[in-house]
Amino acid sequence: MLLKKIDLETTQLSLDELLAELDANTEVLLTRGLAPVARIASAETKTVQGERVLGLHEGEGWISDDFTDELPDSFWLGQDE
């Protein structure tokens, strides 16, 4: 994603012109001097890099047998056993 920085103190662009700077792969960072003020991104910005594939990493994770067991009071009280 491309980030364009625009200083509000020096720019002569109107709001319509700022919005025209946006596209699906561009964000505009508005600043006052060096301080960031706002970030403007297109509503059509795509954040997902690809289609999700069900079962892609099947069998690579596990859950412990005691996952649903109650935790001891020492855990909740911050005491070491």
* 74 part of a folded domain: no
pTM: 0.50
- Model confidence over 28-59: pLDDT tens digits? 899 999 999 999 888 775 555 678 888 888 88
> Could you tell me which of 49, 4, 48 has the C-alpha nearest to residue 26?
4
pLDDT above 80: residue 7: yes
* 32 part of a folded domain: yes
Backbone angles phi, psi at 27, to 5 degrees: -120, 150
* 19 part of a folded domain: yes
Q: Please give the pLDDT value at position 24.
A: 72
Return the SS3 of 78: coil
* 51 part of a folded domain: no
* 39 part of a folded domain: yes
Q: Please give the pLDDT value at position 36.
A: 95
* 62 part of a folded domain: no
The number of folded domains in the chain is 1
* 37 part of a folded domain: yes
User: For residues 23 and 1, is the Cβ–Cβ distance under 8 A?
Assistant: no
* 55 part of a folded domain: no
- The residue range of the domain holding 16 is 1-44
